[in-house]
Structure 1
Amino acid sequence: MRLVPLDLDRDLDLLHEWVTHPRSHYWGLQDATPDRVRAEYQGFLDNPDYDVWLGLDDDDSPLFLAETYDPAHSELAPHYPVRPGDIGMHVLVAPPTRKRSGVTSAVMRAVMDHCFADSRIERVVVEPDVRNDAIHRKNAEVGFVVDRDVPLHGKTGRLSFCTRTAYEMSVPHLSPEAITFAHRRLIAKAIAEFSHERLIEPVAAGDRFRFGDNTFTAKRYPLEHWVIDPDSLDGPLDALDFIAGLRETLGIPEKLLGTYLEEISATLAGTAWKFAHRRETAADLVHASFQTIEAAMTEGHPGFVANNGRIGYGLRDHEAYVPESGRPVRLRWVAILRTESLFVYDGDERAFYEAEFGADLLTRFEQQLRGHGLDPADYRYLPVHPWQWEHKVTVTFAPDVARRAIVPLDAGTDRHQAQQSIRTFFNLDRPDRHYVKTAIAVQNMGFLRGLSPKYMRATPPINAWVASVVEGDEELRACGFGVLRELAATGYTGDAYHRTGTPSAYTKMLAALWRESPVTRISETERLATMASLLHRDRDGNALATALIRESGVDAATWVATYLRAYLRPVVHCILAHDLAFMPHGENLILVLENHVPTRVFMKDIGEEVAVMNDQPLPPDVERIRVSVSDEFKELAIFTDVFDGFLRHLAGILDADGMLGAAEFWALAGDCVRAHAKDHPHLAGRLDLLRPTFQHSCLNRLQLRNTLQMVDLTDQASSLIFAGELENPIAS
């Protein structure tokens, strides 16, 4: 949101509609004519001690009115000792034209941010009508404290103050309503996913189910998938107590219980924050931009219960850097000694920098280096997450900064937005420029989110090889399947942690890579969305997938079949034709939609998430991705990662919403696999994707076993945990 000065010639009709609306009766202008409203506000605008602002929503549509004034020159002056740094404030939210939750809270914070943006302001003063209980609650949310009631013109006002510190310490998302919402959803998910992984077993209780002290309504679908209605939960609503009480059942090591509970608590806090601040409905997102959809996701990984840990972030970090805040971020840049770093790119390094952040900024960086008496030819450039700069680079690498092996420069000129993976950024100002993925020492969902320079040395060659395989395959081209290549990688290796020769979290703190943007690869009639959005439900429970199908004008079966051809068929082909496996979960796929139907996909996160499962010749730089596994394990790339990891959730959503029955959904998936086999008889018999059952690989069991590092990234296959077998929903 942003505030712009009120323009009466432009805004009078809107202003008159707002202030005379029945909801605005405390404003005192119910029967005012347009001329009276103009005269009233012209007087405010002519007053040098008064300002009037029109508040715009994130799509620049008018949403609220704000007034700020100097209390020393107002009718409040006789009623309290005005301090230097006081500012008075009024706010009026537009009458609602559609159902959206959390609007008034968001407006209040936007206005308070505006007031405190002036460093001279230390306290905001308000005097709402004593009868206006709704605004009193909103004032309390952001830190206002009632002083006393005072007689004012036309009303009795409730004089209240909010200091800068009180506002900074306010946490309106941690309200009883928001945290109850979060507890309900997390407990429902925990029961569903722990039941799916056969860690617990709810029992039927009439037309409901019971587990422990909780009863609830639920539906069970293929792949032992549970869909539990959070609002039906009847019993204790404390997710931390729920998890702690199951420690032995879940197999959480005693020494790691606190860490896992912290991730659970952080997940609750994240859900509460989204409840309070994200206002988009599923209907809104049908027509929303790529990055609006990215920021609007209310759920992290669909399978993991503790999926929003971000341990290391504080409240302000959360508001500044997480995807759901949607805040623009300017990355920090440092220069690093060439002799103590690496840069991998199939092209000219300087030309790459010029393309990524412009010749002017590159020249400025070189001038900064010369200002330190340093030769720019001795350095290369590394983007750093602002959190990482403040918390790690200036502390953990202080000696390297002091000896000018790492030289602080400036922030980039482009604004970026954090993606669902939290350490990857999309360029808002130049969407054609690459994504930037940075190292960040934040613990999230079982891993510290670092990047190893040594590991990334092979990332661009791996991406180039995978892209050549994909682009050279006629079937994949026909499906529109593509990969977003990680084209360049860089990292600092001159620190003491690298000199020890021992890999650790400290050797993964200063590195970055650049990945292609999908924006340049779509037509004017196409739009983009993270595939994770197909599992999104807004806070009212409405599913985006359902809204997309309804808006598309095609029936659900056609929509699903088209989507499966774009997603499932190419992933199956890669396994059967090339023994090439991706990690095709929702956050790793970008959908290309036309008329609201997914018609093709881009795969990303190639360097860390791809495997070649045969003995075909590979370039030396690509050899790292080879794994030797059985055919049964190869099949899990479809069964576990696609069927169990993503499609079971989508099938449950569409069935629960009455769009497409689960049986029909899985029949379409089976048709997709069989159609591929019919079109490629030479691949028949390579793997048995129609087998009756497959091994049940369990994700939460990995995190519960070791929430600090779920798997050994150098040998992921041996880290997996199985719980028997699942029935194959597409079996012959």
Structure 2
Amino acid sequence: MMENANHWQTVNHRLMARTLAECAYEGIISPRRVYGDQYELDTGQHRYRFRARRTPWDFLWIRPHPILRDGYPVSDAIQLVLDCREALAMSDITLGNFIEELNNTLAGDLLRQQNLANQTASQLLDLPPARLEALLDGHPKVLANRGRLGWGMDDLHRYSPEAGQPVVPRWLAAHRATGLRVFGQPTPEQCLTASERQELAPWLDSGDWQLVPVHPWQWQHHIQPQYAAMLQAGNLVDLGSRGSRYLPQQSIRTLSNVDEPTACDLKLSLTILNTSCYRGIPPEPMALAPALSRWLSATASTDPFLSATGLTVQQELGGVHLPQPHQQQVDGTPYRYREMLGAVWRESLASKPAAGEQGWIFAVLMQTDAAGTPLVAEIIRRSGWSVEDWLTRLFDRVTLPLYHLLCCYGIGLVAHGQNLGVIFRHFRPERVVLKDFHGDLRLVEGDLPGRAGVPESLTLALPRLPPAHLLHDLYTGHLVTGLRFLSPLLEDHLGYPERDFYRLLHDRLQQYQREHPQLATRFAQFDLLSPAMARVCLNRVRFRIGYGDDASRPTPTLGPDLPNPLHPRNHHTMEICHE
């Protein structure tokens, strides 16, 4: 019981630190520096005191020490939110729902903390990547990053990544006359044993039927009641649970094959509200995904820079979507009802490393063990390289290829810690791996994408946005959501100052620009080195829009401008903040 109580205090303290840090970063609250590394937040009724340092991102990196409320140590994350309710400016209805999300987050993090206990950074890196992914923190920017509205405790212990329990999909046979849409080349046979393929041959070999995998939770809670008419009519047939076992990835609805790790991943609709939206699968991105990933993969092999840096794509092999026929007749129906039954087959990250290589999602580099030791520190130690040499390779093989896609092709994609993979050779960054970008990939306005070789079918179908919007797909998606949390770990644990981290990245970007003078106008168009950048906020959105239904997914909002750590003018400011 004492150990459980300690874990409960730990997860509450972590959520309190994230709440203070992210709400301050988004400009919602304003803690003030009292002296040294002591900061104080006056909520009106209570005063919170904590230790932190301000990073180059105008972000408070909170030290792992007790947080005081009116002078007394406290570990109650939800009380902190209640104390800050005036600044958060949520309605009582929104606040009540948000408290439910926070309690769910604490419950999931408690389970994760119990599984993480007593495992060192070195031991964690020796786990199979799918097992390690189950122990990661989740989106670091989102306060309720395990909110999962719709799940109870049984669901948490059965289907969450942190539970580490294999899931066996339910399989349906859908007749083409149901309105089923098929994209690319779905490969259900990859997910079944030889005997099951033989048993299901009449369905697999028929041109009139398509096998559709369904998450068992989705089957129980949504498919059986909402698709009952089809099931009763016999044009949607339940084939039962069968095939390979899968572990949920951090995104929950995407599953890794346990029995054959190099086989394809499955992404399945899951109508729960988590982080920012319901986790169904919309059909529109699926329609483009196979052709888009084929083109990007081919481009990566023929473009001289991308080929040299080894950019790799986890291709979308195919997908299926079956609309609910009555909901399809309601133009403004909540978007979750349009995304209830869909599946995607995608190449796995485990299929990409060669012999002697390791493949992890980028979020592994932002993770610590239970004692607070970063996994990235152990990776660098095993590489045998200096921090600066290792970071130089990381920037050259991960950040610069993303920048090249933007400047050379006018492509913006949101590459955060969970949909960006990194292949290491002897623990040294070797190449970046892109996945699950199809719903967020956009093209810049104008004729650049077409002139750069993006096929006309894609230039006509993909969203077109001004350069500033696409710049933030890279800046906010990769730098703010990834590097912002990596650089302080290297300073705290390896003594590599954050100011040197961003000076080095600045130098690598300038070196790239010198080597590609033909893109000079694009560098000005996508100005990654400007003195200030827009500050894109996620938590503000939830506080503002609440939890009501909508016909479309929510979009981020903006906070105060952000001093860009990549601009030389801000390097002096970094040194002052560091002191």
In the TM superposition, 1:408-419 aligns within 5 A as 408-419=238-249
Distance 1:263 1:460 in 2: 35
In the TM superposition, 1:288-367 aligns within 5 A as 288-297=127-136, 299-346=137-184, 352-366=187-201
* 1:256 to 2:94 alignment: yes
Q: 1:633 aligns with which of 448, 469, 484?
A: 469
* 1:278 to 2:113 alignment: no
Give how far 1:623 is off: 3.3
Residues 1:358 and 1:526: Cα distance change in structure 2 (over 3 Å): same
Give how far 1:408 is off: 0.8
Q: Which runs of 5+ in 1 are unaligned?
A: 1-136, 139-172
* 1:513 to 2:344 alignment: yes
SS in 2 for 1:587: coil
Q: 2:59 aligns with which of 225, 250, 254?
A: 225
Distance 1:600 1:713 in 2: 35
Give how far 1:666 is off: 0.5
SS in 1 for 2:298: helix
SS in 1 for 2:147: coil
Give how far 1:411 is off: 1.8
Deviation digits for residues 494-527 of structure 1 (CA, Å, limit 9, x no counterpart): 5322244545312211110111123333211001
Distance 1:203 1:521 in 2: 47
Q: Is the 8 A contact 1:462 1:622 kept in 2?
A: no
The two structures have a TM-score, normalised by structure 1, of 0.71
Give how far 1:451 is off: 1.0
Q: Is the 8 A contact 1:465 1:622 kept in 2?
A: no
Q: Is the 8 A contact 1:267 1:307 kept in 2?
A: yes
SS in 2 for 1:602: strand
Distance 1:498 1:277 in 2: 43
Aligned amino acid, residue 131 of structure 2: T
Aligned amino acid, residue 198 of structure 2: T
SS in 2 for 1:457: helix
* 1:493 to 2:323 alignment: yes
Q: Which runs of 5+ in 2 are unaligned?
A: 569-579
Residues 1:410 and 1:608: Cα distance change in structure 2 (over 3 Å): same
Aligned amino acid, residue 407 of structure 2: L
Q: Is the 8 A contact 2:57 2:562 kept in 1?
A: yes
In the TM superposition, 1:657-696 aligns within 5 A as 657-686=493-522, 687-696=526-535
Deviation digits for residues 132-157 of structure 1 (CA, Å, limit 9, x no counterpart): xxxxx69xxxxxxxxxxxxxxxxxxx
Residues 1:275 and 1:385: Cα distance change in structure 2 (over 3 Å): same
1:425 aligns with: 255
Indicate the RMSD between aligned Cα atoms, in angstroms.
Answer: 2.4
Deviation digits for residues 465-485 of structure 1 (CA, Å, limit 9, x no counterpart): 333333332111111111111
SS in 2 for 1:204: strand
Aligned amino acid, residue 519 of structure 2: L
Give how far 1:459 is off: 2.5
Aligned amino acid, residue 148 of structure 2: R
In the TM superposition, 1:713-724 aligns within 5 A as 719-724=555-560
Give how far 1:335 is off: 0.8
SS in 2 for 1:458: helix
Q: Is the 8 A contact 1:439 1:450 kept in 2?
A: yes
Distance 2:549 2:366 in 1: 24
1:557 aligns with: 388
Distance 2:430 2:67 in 1: 38
In the TM superposition, 1:114-133 aligns within 5 A as none
1:267 aligns with: 105
In the TM superposition, 1:700-711 aligns within 5 A as 700-708=539-547
SS in 2 for 1:468: helix
Aligned amino acid, residue 404 of structure 1: G
Give how far 1:657 is off: 1.5
Distance 1:260 1:703 in 2: 8
Q: Is the 8 A contact 1:323 1:418 kept in 2?
A: yes
Give how far 1:246 is off: 2.0
Distance 1:646 1:329 in 2: 29
SS in 1 for 2:521: coil
Q: Is the 8 A contact 2:412 2:471 kept in 1?
A: no
Aligned amino acid, residue 552 of structure 1: S
SS in 2 for 1:609: coil
The structure whose Rg is larger is 1
Residues 1:363 and 1:560: Cα distance change in structure 2 (over 3 Å): same
Q: 1:593 aligns with which of 400, 410, 424?
A: 424
Distance 1:288 1:707 in 2: 39
Give how far 1:292 is off: 2.3
Q: Is the 8 A contact 1:447 1:710 kept in 2?
A: no
Distance 1:252 1:601 in 2: 40
Aligned amino acid, residue 251 of structure 2: S
Distance 2:141 2:188 in 1: 39
* 1:234 to 2:68 alignment: yes
Q: 2:290 aligns with which of 453, 460, 463?
A: 460
1:100 aligns with: none
2:31 aligns with: 202
Give how far 1:642 is off: 2.2
* 1:448 to 2:283 alignment: no
Distance 1:622 1:381 in 2: 31
SS in 1 for 2:431: strand
Q: Is the 8 A contact 1:343 1:488 kept in 2?
A: no
* 1:623 to 2:454 alignment: no
In the TM superposition, 1:571-590 aligns within 5 A as 571-590=402-421
Aligned amino acid, residue 238 of structure 1: D
Aligned amino acid, residue 199 of structure 1: I
Deviation digits for residues 37-78 of structure 1 (CA, Å, limit 9, x no counterpart): xxxxxxxxxxxxxxxxxxxxxxxxxxxxxxxxxxxxxxxxxx
Does 1 or 2 have the higher relative contact order (CA < 8 Å, sep 6+)?
A: 2
The two structures have a TM-score, normalised by structure 2, of 0.89
